[in-house]
Amino acid sequence: MSKVEFNKETGPREVFCGLTSIVWLHRRMPDAFFLVVGSRTCAHLIQSAAGVMIFAEPRFGTAILEEKDLAGLADAHEELDRVVNDLIARRPEIKTLFLVGSCPSEVIKLDLATVAEKLNKRFLGQVRFVNYSGSGIETTFTQGEDGALKALIPLMESSNEEKLLLVGTLANNVEDRFKKIFKNLGISNIESFPPRQSTELPKIGKNTKVLLTQPYLSDTVRDLKHRGCEIISAPFPLGIEGSTEWFLAAAKAFKINELKVHEIISPLIDRAKLALESHKEILKGKRLFLLPESQLEISLARFLHNECEMDLIEVGTPYLNKDLMKEEINLLPDNTKIVEGQHVEKQLDRVRESNPDLVVCGMGLANPLEAEGISTKWSIEMVFSPIHGIDQAADLAGLFSKPLRRNQILTTKTLVTH
């Protein structure tokens, strides 16, 4: 392991909670519905995070707890029953309904597992109910996806068929690219989790080789291991380096000759390197500060340093699973400062002191930092944009070069006005 400096920090945070992941999960599985059992705040959060009303009728909603629901829990269960009935009558196309726990439902100990169990019996053959918690007292942002996927694992049938399972939500086009490349490598039995339809869950077993596409799936990985799956240890497929290592790790697990991998992906690498050049010109030597939000920060830091030659000031992450991140951390430059957790005020003090060229941060902080003259990139864009794979390396770099390019345009006096 390289000489990486680990720090932990506690204090006030500025991070989305796990409920927010509904916003991309509902797009991935159009036959699923996410029902948050929470407060008006939860409803308002998802609405605000979903770009403030971009969908006419979204596939997520909130069962808002009211005073009378808090008085007696038995009533809350009945009320939830009623809401679910209404919802299913209105949306008969729903195949899977996620009951999503929130901070208030966790605090009042609303037993969503029991509710889901009862509803499963009642709607047998029509709708499946699963429950997980996206509460902000337990999860941050992307951990919501971890919870949702973990909740689906018990529904996955067993199979001893040899297969490659890609785990973590990907953009459809990226997923298609990956599958094509794996087929060219000679791995033809590939499935994705989560699938594009919630009902088409892959079967898993001892010959399932799991390749993670996202770094925030600690609980899911643990449960997949329990089901006998083999977890392929690799960095994450962000950037040319990460993706190459990722393909190589998969190939090794399937006993495919390394030379074949290089033969197939080297044209892709050449092309990507070419595309990366113009972004690198802008990013090279620029100083980067990553605030914690998505858990993608370590992989992004690795890509932006190793391939775009940026200097890393601080790499924040809301949560660090050293085991899952082992391969990534090995690729980081010496003396990288990793900070797990957050004290947002102290962290912002460090941002100002270090005067970075670019800060990766959540949406609440972006404009205030811009107003101080610091360029920013929103973390949430990483989970919505197709950024994985060799073909996307330049697009990924583009997300970071764009704010810098923009500020260059806006601050350069190019027009002669006299």
Which residue, 161 or 349, is less far from another protein as judged by CB? 349
* Min dist. Cβ of residue 333 to another protein (A): 30
Which residue, 20 or 214, is less far from another protein as judged by CB? 20
Which residue, 11 or 267, is less far from another protein as judged by CB? 11
* Min dist. Cβ of residue 335 to another protein (A): 29
* Min dist. Cβ of residue 273 to another protein (A): 35
Determine whether the annotation assigns residue 308 to a binding site: no
Which residue, 299 or 379, is less far from another protein as judged by CB? 379
* Min dist. Cβ of residue 102 to another protein (A): 8
Q: Per this entry, what is the length of the chain?
A: 418
* Min dist. Cβ of residue 348 to another protein (A): 9
Determine whether the annotation assigns residue 42 to a binding site: yes
Which residue, 285 or 364, is less far from another protein as judged by CB? 364
CA distances, 102 to each of 45, 85, 157, 185, 192 (Å): 11, 20, 29, 43, 27
Give the footprint of another protein on this chain (CB under 8 A). 11-20, 39-41, 43-45, 47-49, 52-53, 56-58, 60-67, 69-70, 76, 79-80, 82-83, 86-87, 103-104, 106-108, 135-138, 140, 345, 362-368, 370-371
Determine whether the annotation assigns residue 229 to a binding site: no
Annotation: binding site for [4Fe-4S] cluster: 17, 42, 103
Annotation: binding site: 17, 42, 103
